[in-house]
């Protein structure tokens, strides 16, 4: 066990309205919660010179005085994980499409996981932490399936993370999320208005199924764009809810599974696409419209992967 240096932290606007103990632990890594609780109780840690409690909320401009604190030494990552994160960081550096002081949006290539997991040494968030070591609080605001390409939001501080997750939790269309997909077969247009797919979904193991009796509400808007090659159609989908594999299962439910979908797709269509050089799920998060805390909107777009054009010939 080592000790940090005594210091006074000044709470920034982006760190306001957090639990005090969580704020301190985000600024001084490795401090056990029990140490913080004890030092607050004995007034060794103070806020603006006054006694404080772990669950009180931070206010911008607060002065948090910290004595030397016991901190656990961080365990170094295995060399393989560190190398994988560094390699992915170099690749992702070319795919950042928007960045400011509060958030970062990356155009994730297909077949890259968003975080580490079984058999995955490094994901997007680990790579971005290598790429942006000065941003201590990088966190995913949402997820994309490993197979899906496109726009992924990463919050750079807890205030923005809470804002984004609040919008996503409320459902509806607070963050407008649009996807492009190429599906098998000729999909008929439903006039000028988009088709609305209302099919409740239920998770069953690693898969998701339509279940109108026991499923959770799931809604998707669908626009038919144009034919894509001899046996496909380009469509645009907007998520109105955020269930696991929602667009993939809804399109399968319509009888037009996404080309390249190994779980819900058509094997023959997938094989034809692979023979033409398209070996990926043809689902791409193409547009995000995000309401920001100040009242303005951020509208970010990412073009579909160039490889999709191989199916048009």
Residues belonging to the active site: 145
C-alpha distance across the termini of the chain, in Å: 63
SS3 at position 181? strand
Q: Which two tokens stand for residue 96?
A: 């950042």
Farthest-apart Cα atoms in the chain, separation: 74
Residues making up the chain, counted from first to last:
313
Rounded to whole angstroms, the Cα distance separating 211 from 213 reads 6
* 77-88 core/surface letters (b: 16 or more CB in 10 A; e: else): eeeeeeebbeeb
Non-local CB neighbours of 104 within 8 Å, separated by 6+ positions: 96, 98, 128, 132, 138, 153, 154, 156
Query: What residue has token string 């000729």?
Result: 186
* Structure letter (DSSP) for residue 242: -
Rounded to whole angstroms, the Cα distance separating 310 from 313 reads 6
């Amino acid at each position: 066990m080592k000790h940090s240096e005594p210091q006074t932290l000044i709470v920034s606007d982006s760190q306001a309205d957090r639990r005090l103990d969580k704020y301190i632990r985000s600024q001084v890594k490795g401090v056990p919660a029990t140490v913080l609780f004890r030092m607050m109780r004995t007034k060794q840690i103070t806020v603006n010179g006054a006694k404080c409690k772990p669950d009180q909320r931070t206010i911008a401009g607060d002065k948090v005085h910290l004595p030397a604190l016991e901190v656990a030494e961080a365990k170094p990552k295995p060399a393989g994980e560190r190398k994988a994160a560094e390699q992915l960081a170099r690749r992702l550096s070319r795919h950042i499409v928007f960045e400011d002081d509060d958030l970062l949006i990356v155009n994730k290539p297909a077949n890259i996981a968003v975080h580490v997991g079984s058999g995955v040494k490094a994901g997007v968030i680990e790579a971005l932490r290598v790429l942006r070591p000065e941003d201590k609080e990088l966190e995913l605001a949402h997820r994309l399936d490993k197979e899906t390409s496109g726009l992924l939001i990463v919050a750079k501080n807890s205030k923005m993370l809470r804002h984004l997750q609040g919008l996503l939790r409320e459902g509806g269309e607070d963050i407008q999320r649009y996807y492009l997909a190429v599906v098998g077969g000729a999909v008929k247009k439903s006039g000028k208005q988009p088709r609305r797919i209302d099919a409740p979904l239920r998770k069953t193991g690693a898969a998701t199924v339509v279940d109108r009796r026991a499923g959770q509400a799931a809604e998707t808007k669908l626009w038919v764009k144009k034919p894509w090659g001899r046996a496909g159609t380009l469509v645009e989908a907007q998520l109105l809810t955020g269930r696991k594999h929602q667009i993939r299962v809804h399109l399968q439910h319509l009888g037009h599974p996404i080309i390249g979908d190994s779980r819900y797709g058509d094997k023959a269509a997938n094989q034809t696409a692979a023979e033409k050089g398209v070996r990926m799920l043809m689902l791409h998060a193409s547009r995000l419209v995000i309401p920001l805390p100040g009242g303005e909107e951020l509208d970010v777009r990412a073009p579909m992967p160039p490889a999709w054009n191989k199916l048009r010939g």
